[in-house]
Structure 1
């Protein structure tokens, strides 16, 4: 495996981890907003979490797609 290919895989993995973190954090913020009676803000955070999760699935390699969809 070339260094460039390995570097690209590391970058892709880091982006995937960042998207998962963003999705998780947005869900936590949505829960905090809901607990505070801020339904509109909670909705916006849930939409942000969904967007991060969707981008993560769209970026997946075709061979990885079924595994990622069933793991959620």
Structure 2
């Protein structure tokens, strides 16, 4: 199971960037490179970034007590 490591601001920015990149497949240069926007959109939806896990970065707060 993926550990949540993306905070709300990071998730919002990823979603916006993802949607902008995906829109490039419809307007603008109309190339399939806009599908790269699926990556930030997917990580925003899931709330976890594999690159953040590898680098030990965490932008979300943990409010849980162990």
TM-score class, shorter-chain normalisation, is 0.3 to 0.5
> Which protein is richer in helix relative to its size?
1
Between structure 1 and structure 2, the one with the greater Rg is 1
Of the two structures, which has the highest relative contact order with CA contacts closer than 8 Å and spacing of 6 or more?
2
Q: Could you state the TM-score of these two structures normalised by the residue count of structure 1?
A: 0.44
